[in-house]
Each structure stands twice: as C-alpha cells, then as structure tokens.
Amino acid sequence: MRKLANYLEKHIDVLLERYPQLSVIKEEMIAAYLLMEETYEKGGKLLIAGNGGSAADAEHIVSELMKGFKLERKVSDDFATKLNKVNSEYAPMLIDNFQEALPAIALDGHFALTTAFMNDREPLLCFAQQVNGYGKPNDVFLGISTSGNSKNILYAAVTAKAKGMKVIGLTGESESKLSKLADVCVKAPQKETYMVQELHLPIYHCWCLMLEDHFFNHRVKK
C-alpha cells in the first residue's frame, strides 16, 4: 500500500498548524494526494472541474501544477540537449524560461468546445464530454463541489469511473452523491458555501506543494 514519503509530512504539518480544523480530514487529504502522486508517476494527468468559485479553484490548481509553484523546475539536462539538437538558436531561450509541468486540465474553459456541445446536446454534460475525450485509465478526475451534488460534476465523475480513472471529490462536510461515488472524498469541515471554499484553497495548495516537492525538488538538490 502506497504511503506518504517522510519528507512530505512537513507540508501536512504546516497545513494543520495553520488550519487545525482540517485535522479531522487528514487521512483523506493524504489519500487524495497519493492518488495524484500515483497517476503522475504512471504518466497520467489530472482533469479538474467545478462551478463558479470552484471553477476558479480548478484554474488555480492548474496554474500551480503546470508551472513552478515555489521551485524553479528547470528542465532536465536530457531535454535541454534535445532542444539544442533541434534548434541551437532558439534553445537557449527555451531552456532559460521553461519550467517542468505536471499535466493538468481545467474543464471549465474551452469556450468554443463547451458552447458548441451545449448548443447541440445536454448542457449538464459539458464536463463529462471532455472527460470522455481526454480521460485515460491512469488519469484522475478531481471534482470540486461545495455541496457534492452538482449534476455536471456527478456526470463527469461517472464518466471518469467508466473510463477506468480514479475520482477525487473536494466538497463540504455533508455526505453527498459525490462522496459516495468518489474513490476519495475530502470533505472540508464547513457547510456554508463560502466557508467551504475558504478551506478548499489551503487544501489544494498543500497538494500542489507536495507534488512539486516529490517530483521536482530532487533536481534542486543536485
């Protein structure tokens, strides 16, 4: 059974020191992180969806994973060599500016695709359609819903499970349809929507810090 690496525990400790109310969901937060760690180790990606403020959270998570969060994430020597072989004129600019990424896609964007689909088909399936198109067995779907009952998130989660993906729910404290469907559901211990959202941010920041530390910090230490 996969366990949290010792060097990552500091991130959980800092999170719980700052937000002690999250101690009740410590194990779920770690379990969700480990699913993401595993999917990236297998070459998978993270698909994320939410509505309203949770859509903004989905975009926020992508921005922390697809570029450097706290670390520079310099490209590997191997990739730098390949860039130089392709074009020695452009390579220095690319090497100096590129940051290694953890593949993640927020499903709330893609306006041409989503509006075209919603015009022709059931609008509540706009996230599910993208999961159907992007999703692979080694991927994870992260559904963010303060109630845990947003229908478009549930349709996407069902689609993800059918595609052989893992599903993580990020919700409020109440039991929900998403909490029953997800492989892991992290239920922020609040009921009021804005209070739930205020706890979601430090949770996913912690995940992003841990993922970055795990996948990229070894290069900084060399």
**Superfamily holding 12-66+102-221:** Glucose-6-phosphate isomerase like protein; domain 1 (3.40.50.10490)
Q: At what angle do helices 193-221 and 53-65 cross, to 10 degrees?
A: 0
Q: Looking at beta carbons, which pairs linking 120-126 to residues 24 or more positions away fall under 8 Å? A: 123/152, 124/151, 124/152, 124/155, 125/152, 125/155, 126/152
Encoding tokens for residue 150? 């947003």
In 3D space, the residue among 72, 74, 94 whose CA is nearest the CA of residue 83 turns out to be 94
pLDDT given for residue 2 in this prediction = 81
pLDDT given for residue 156 in this prediction = 99
pLDDT given for residue 189 in this prediction = 98
pLDDT given for residue 70 in this prediction = 95
Which residues partner with 167 through β-bridges?
141
* pLDDT surpassing 80 at residue 210: yes
pLDDT given for residue 219 in this prediction = 46
State mean pLDDT over 50-58: 98
| Tens-place pLDDT, residues 89-142 | 999 999 999 999 999 999 998 999 999 999 999 999 999 999 999 999 999 999
Encoding tokens for residue 49? 């969806």
| Tens-place pLDDT, residues 74-87 | 999 999 999 999 99
State mean pLDDT over 153-176: 98
pLDDT given for residue 221 in this prediction = 43
End-to-end CA distance of the chain: 29
| Tens-place pLDDT, residues 193-206 | 999 999 999 999 99
Which residues have CB under 8 Å from 73's CB, separation 6+? 67, 99, 100, 101, 212, 216, 219
pLDDT given for residue 218 in this prediction = 61
User: What residues does each domain of the chain span?
Assistant: 12-66+102-221, 71-100
Across all residues in the chain, what is the average pLDDT? 96
* pLDDT surpassing 70 at residue 222: no
Q: How confident is the model at residue 181 (pLDDT cuts 50, 70, 90)?
A: very high
Instruction: For residues 48 and 108, give the distance between their C-alpha atoms in angstroms, rounded to a whole number.
Output: 8
